[in-house]
Structure 1
């Protein structure tokens, strides 16, 4: 029989994997939306915070956590050491060589020995000038000669390692052929850059170059642009290192480097390469000083590596901050994240990138004129979230199905009863049911006094049902709602009520009306991303007119009118359709608004008001509304607004007064 081995699917995403669960991300994003932020701002906030772990999955870090790690890494690099380590090491080797030479000369009583000592005494204090003076010196001490050669090798290795990372290991072999190969590589590199500038370079040329000299480039660039980017970043870091030294240190180190390259026969090629890299990448912050605060001296190559990494981290920090126009997560270099923070950070970044794409792909977000908007599917879910929060606040009663059938005005008793039919849920008429059983058992044999109930005996109380309600929720959108911190609660309440009516009472006709200087009907998808109006005016007059038209379109429905506001009316609609604002409220505004309230009363609509402020003008106005209409007045905290509004709707819907 054939044997099979099963493993992970290799050709792309697993076709049998369950769909990506984006609902937790939408719920987390919805928290910000329901507090009053726009969908775009809510998404950015979600990406900053990250996602909590669910169902045993690891939490995904957000941009703030990644930024914190990047900044910590920058602090660690700055504390790593000083930039003048090569100078210090070169001075130490020079002092050692001179000391060894003096020790060799001291026992010799001859004049030549004294002349040599005099020459050593007159060496300049500048290390670079001293090295230049001693380049032609005929060392008497073999140990001193070896130390001086070590000094020159050090400078050569450090300078080349500063430009080509990993060169230090390549030059560990003292064989002159190794240095000749470095010369050949640099000449070939400069020729390739010149050919590219003339438009004559090909990928085949680069591949041939890498086959010959690829061991000098451990980061394994795949084309000339990647190679140029790597070399230019390192050259710019070296330039920043020089700018970070004191003028005396900079002059001394530059002279040492020039001497080392001249001795190695590389001075011209290094100058050509530096000029070419600066011309191709002028954007890398050449000559910008960088502060290092550590105590340990760093060699030139290590210091350049540290400064190059600091530059990469600075770019990564700017990309992760996402605080520039048009910022997108695609701007973040995944390879830079991998180098700085490791594989797990790359996975977290990939998950953050996936959130926005999945929200759009699965139909929760859509773009319109460059702005993110919630779809009806997303609004339904956010409304369900808002409703769950509201019901979590409601004490007592049933927490599941809040629809109590055939109660109150939705099922008023008529005073008569009828025979029970399968599916009836009206209250049982116990007296008539038992009477039917007694009459039926009257023909039973003598001596049998028991009463047995039969299905035919049952009767229920007959009700006259009102099958639907016309619901109007009037929400203040004025700027004062934001100033008082009640805007988010009002929006959450509107979503919760709309969801409740749509899911539990689909026969009802609900209309959400927002009002500031003017009033307008708010559609479900508009409510979630709705922003407040930074205008003057609380035009309850216009809102009541729109609500009245909604009630008139449903004359057989139970009228329900709920008003959420934090201020008395300060605007009304003039006959020409324009809004007129006045503060304190004009007499005409109050008269016209109260006239609309009187119309609501004549329609049989009870108008309940939810005050979100205790201003004496608002209190006086609301008391007058209650006196004229008979409605109730509530003064809830903003955090309990949804509980009050939904509870009041349910009370009215079930026939409460």
Structure 2
């Protein structure tokens, strides 16, 4: 009979890079917020960093986690103190002396009287009293047991500082257990000596772990990992000693000699600490912390608390990302999970994946000057998000929302509808015949005859969409007041939404962007998105209209559409020499030149719509009068509804073409 062979497998967290089975990171929120910051004048690199610091709706940002790490560190120092072991030793000593006094009071021999004198003359120092009683011949079994607990406690605490779980594992330890500890320390010091001299081998490490692996729950895989784990704990033990008062340091040094009843343990630990310090001099061995709380800790707990404070301090620095060359990969996810919980680790991992995805998927690119900017792909995604927001605003408005008048004598949309009087669209034969068959079967189930009778009720026509080209020019005010009044970012979002709509839905139309402040210039959507606020006065609508007129003449067969977004009266115009003339309040010559250009555009048949921002009475008076003069429209949206107003007006003018 063949013997069954079983293969044992170990499973753990995937460590070969990003999890291939993890769901893709949702970049929409990040791109939206990064885009808003870029449109407000922030560089793309800084905008991404700011998003990582703030976080999103479903994940904490780096700042929140750094604040949590700092808060946890402050709480450790504020709520704890290092008196735990000293208090416990004092309690055991008092209990032993009291039990011995009771026993001596019952004994009537002369030796008992001498022992009473010895007990009564113990020094006030706990450490000195423990040392003087090291050779005392205890008469009370209870007293002897309490005194032996002191040496056992000191030994376990000293080991707990440097080896995880020793305090509990060695409670009630036997002489055999202590011997195993001594052998482990001797072998460890030999291995460390070889490691520091460069003479250790993999076989040395494997032999050591085979004999003493039970003492190392961290499961190190090589000597370097073993040294790293031990050195961090040893450095924390030294920091804890540095954190004691001089009186406590003297007490501890004297008490430690009584660990397990002899100085052998502390000598071995001192040798180990020296070797670890030589191996890892980069660790902080000389600092300390001031604990000021009322919750006492033992030596092991104190060293663990100091390891936690050091780890929390390091995490706070990693999370701040404030140092040169900082990267999200610098954050120790395992340490974050230990200190702040699995949820914080998941948030940090998501932020890291998000940053990596933004870079790897081509949402940023280098400009010729070396700076980072949003790529065309990012601009498309950002435009899609903004257009969705605008569409949601439009859908919530009242008014005529009919879609059956999608166009006349144009391209089919793929939809059909019932024929209505006056329709000129072609019939959908399949739908018409199907309707006739179904109607006949329903109205006259028993009727049998040749052919199919078509009633006017059966006719369905194919919807078409007009494809008349339009040349659309959007003029956006970039003067100082747009920045001061918080209209800078909404203006850019409006341009992106309109660009996204035309470039994806109405590709036959042509969109041209012109920004105007003291001067005007043609721009692209990505240039406008990254445009930094300008602290210059002047609203040169005249120059912008000249550029618009020049552009519209390039499309003689297209319907000209002009959309003007502004929050101020024209206060500048272009002189013949190309310089801008600025005057406030508006100069009559500026008004005259601006009106003349609007008249020229009106004679071209341009559909003009003004989007008036703010409540400036001078602007309202100027726009209302000029709109009546050229047959234009005036829309006065609130700042949050600007995008919906512009896109809605474009769709309205397109429907009338």
Q: Distance in 1 between matches of 2:467 and 2:173?
A: 101
Please report how far the alpha carbon of residue 371 of structure 1 lies from its aligned counterpart in structure 2 after TM superposition.
6.0
- Counterparts in 2 of 1:62-211, with a 5 A limit? 63=62, 82-108=81-107, 112-169=111-168, 171-172=170-171, 174-211=173-210
Question: In structure 1, what is the equivalent of residue 606 of structure 2?
Answer: 605
Q: Distance in 2 between matches of 1:198 and 1:11?
A: 35
Report SS of the residue matched to 2:145: helix
Q: Distance in 1 between matches of 2:423 and 2:341?
A: 76
Between 63-72 and 556-565, report the one with greater CA deviation.
Answer: 63-72
Please report how far the alpha carbon of residue 73 of structure 1 lies from its aligned counterpart in structure 2 after TM superposition.
5.8
Between 646-655 and 103-112, report the one with greater CA deviation.
Answer: 103-112
Between 239-248 and 141-150, report the one with greater CA deviation.
Answer: 239-248
| Change in CA separation of 1:160 and 1:497 when aligned onto 2, cut-off 3 Å | same
- Counterparts in 2 of 1:383-422, with a 5 A limit? 383-394=383-394, 395-396=397-398, 404-406=406-408, 422=426
Question: In structure 2, what is the equivalent of residue 512 of structure 1?
Answer: 513
Please report how far the alpha carbon of residue 561 of structure 1 lies from its aligned counterpart in structure 2 after TM superposition.
1.6
1:376 and 1:524 in contact (8 A); partners too = no
Map Cα deviations across residues 131-151 of structure 1 (whole Å, 9 max, x no partner): 223334344444433322221
Report SS of the residue matched to 2:534: coil
Please report how far the alpha carbon of residue 331 of structure 1 lies from its aligned counterpart in structure 2 after TM superposition.
1.7
Q: Distance in 2 between matches of 1:192 and 1:181?
A: 16
Q: Distance in 2 between matches of 1:589 and 1:122?
A: 105
2:155 and 2:265 in contact (8 A); partners too = no
Q: Distance in 2 between matches of 1:559 and 1:171?
A: 89
Question: In structure 2, what is the equivalent of residue 353 of structure 1?
Answer: 352
Map Cα deviations across residues 389-447 of structure 1 (whole Å, 9 max, x no partner): 2233332456596984249xxxxxxxxxx9968479xxxxxxxxxxxxxxxxxxxxxxx
Matched, 1:227 2:226: yes
Report SS of the residue matched to 1:238: helix
- Counterparts in 2 of 1:250-399, with a 5 A limit? 250-257=249-256, 260=259, 263-278=262-277, 280-284=280-284, 286-291=286-291, 293=293, 295=295, 297-322=296-321, 324=323, 326-343=325-342, 345-366=344-365, 373-394=373-394, 395-396=397-398
- Counterparts in 2 of 1:451-470, with a 5 A limit? 467-470=468-471
Report SS of the residue matched to 1:253: helix
Q: Distance in 1 between matches of 2:564 and 2:64?
A: 43
- Counterparts in 2 of 1:524-543, with a 5 A limit? 524-543=525-544
| Change in CA separation of 1:120 and 1:19 when aligned onto 2, cut-off 3 Å | closer
Q: Distance in 2 between matches of 1:497 and 1:262?
A: 84
Q: How many residues align?
A: 598
| Change in CA separation of 1:150 and 1:640 when aligned onto 2, cut-off 3 Å | same
Please report how far the alpha carbon of residue 489 of structure 1 lies from its aligned counterpart in structure 2 after TM superposition.
1.6
Map Cα deviations across residues 255-300 of structure 1 (whole Å, 9 max, x no partner): 32355389332444433443454562545484231546354x3322
Matched, 1:560 2:565: no
1:27 and 1:382 in contact (8 A); partners too = no
Q: Distance in 2 between matches of 1:232 and 1:572?
A: 74
1:560 and 1:605 in contact (8 A); partners too = yes
Q: Distance in 1 between matches of 2:66 and 2:346?
A: 15
Between 531-540 and 499-508, report the one with greater CA deviation.
Answer: 531-540
Q: Distance in 2 between matches of 1:602 and 1:620?
A: 22
2:67 and 2:316 in contact (8 A); partners too = no
Q: Distance in 1 between matches of 2:195 and 2:545?
A: 74
1:572 and 1:580 in contact (8 A); partners too = yes
Question: In structure 2, what is the equivalent of residue 521 of structure 1?
Answer: 522
Report SS of the residue matched to 1:547: helix
2:474 and 2:562 in contact (8 A); partners too = yes
Question: In structure 2, what is the equivalent of residue 486 of structure 1?
Answer: 487
| Change in CA separation of 1:283 and 1:616 when aligned onto 2, cut-off 3 Å | farther
Report SS of the residue matched to 2:262: helix
Report SS of the residue matched to 1:555: coil
| Change in CA separation of 1:189 and 1:531 when aligned onto 2, cut-off 3 Å | farther
| Change in CA separation of 1:627 and 1:355 when aligned onto 2, cut-off 3 Å | same
Report SS of the residue matched to 1:654: helix
| Change in CA separation of 1:236 and 1:578 when aligned onto 2, cut-off 3 Å | farther
Q: Distance in 2 between matches of 1:512 and 1:389?
A: 21
What is the TM-score with the length of structure 2 in the denominator? 0.76
Report SS of the residue matched to 1:135: helix
Question: In structure 1, what is the equivalent of residue 32 of structure 2?
Answer: 30
2:192 and 2:276 in contact (8 A); partners too = no
Q: Distance in 1 between matches of 2:53 and 2:562?
A: 40
| Change in CA separation of 1:508 and 1:204 when aligned onto 2, cut-off 3 Å | same
| Change in CA separation of 1:453 and 1:218 when aligned onto 2, cut-off 3 Å | closer
Question: In structure 2, what is the equivalent of residue 3 of structure 1?
Answer: none
Report SS of the residue matched to 2:564: strand
- Counterparts in 2 of 1:23-62, with a 5 A limit? 24-27=26-29, 29-31=31-33, 33-34=35-36, 36=39, 39-40=44-45, 43-44=48-49, 47=52
Q: Distance in 2 between matches of 1:131 and 1:555?
A: 105
| Change in CA separation of 1:367 and 1:215 when aligned onto 2, cut-off 3 Å | farther
Q: Distance in 2 between matches of 1:101 and 1:651?
A: 102
Please report how far the alpha carbon of residue 97 of structure 1 lies from its aligned counterpart in structure 2 after TM superposition.
1.9
Q: Distance in 2 between matches of 1:493 and 1:76?
A: 48
| Change in CA separation of 1:520 and 1:260 when aligned onto 2, cut-off 3 Å | farther
2:483 and 2:533 in contact (8 A); partners too = yes
Q: Distance in 2 between matches of 1:360 and 1:593?
A: 46
Report SS of the residue matched to 1:561: strand
Question: In structure 2, what is the equivalent of residue 55 of structure 1?
Answer: none
Please report how far the alpha carbon of residue 522 of structure 1 lies from its aligned counterpart in structure 2 after TM superposition.
3.4
Please report how far the alpha carbon of residue 560 of structure 1 lies from its aligned counterpart in structure 2 after TM superposition.
1.5
Q: Distance in 2 between matches of 1:603 and 1:544?
A: 13
Q: Distance in 2 between matches of 1:288 and 1:401?
A: 74
1:466 and 1:558 in contact (8 A); partners too = no
| Change in CA separation of 1:273 and 1:497 when aligned onto 2, cut-off 3 Å | same
What is the TM-score with the length of structure 1 in the denominator? 0.76
Between 216-225 and 529-538, report the one with greater CA deviation.
Answer: 529-538
Between 314-323 and 620-629, report the one with greater CA deviation.
Answer: 620-629
Please report how far the alpha carbon of residue 526 of structure 1 lies from its aligned counterpart in structure 2 after TM superposition.
4.2
Q: Distance in 1 between matches of 2:600 and 2:358?
A: 46
| Change in CA separation of 1:106 and 1:20 when aligned onto 2, cut-off 3 Å | closer
1:152 and 1:260 in contact (8 A); partners too = yes
Q: Name stretches of at least 5 consecutive residues in structure 1 with no aligned partner.
A: 1-7, 53-58, 408-417, 425-451, 455-464
Question: In structure 2, what is the equivalent of residue 459 of structure 1?
Answer: none
Report SS of the residue matched to 2:287: coil
Question: In structure 2, what is the equivalent of residue 445 of structure 1?
Answer: none
1:94 and 1:151 in contact (8 A); partners too = yes
Map Cα deviations across residues 73-108 of structure 1 (whole Å, 9 max, x no partner): 657766875431111000011112222332233344
| Change in CA separation of 1:592 and 1:215 when aligned onto 2, cut-off 3 Å | farther
1:495 and 1:527 in contact (8 A); partners too = no
Q: Considering only aligned residues, what root-mean-square deviation do their CA atoms show, in Å?
A: 4.5
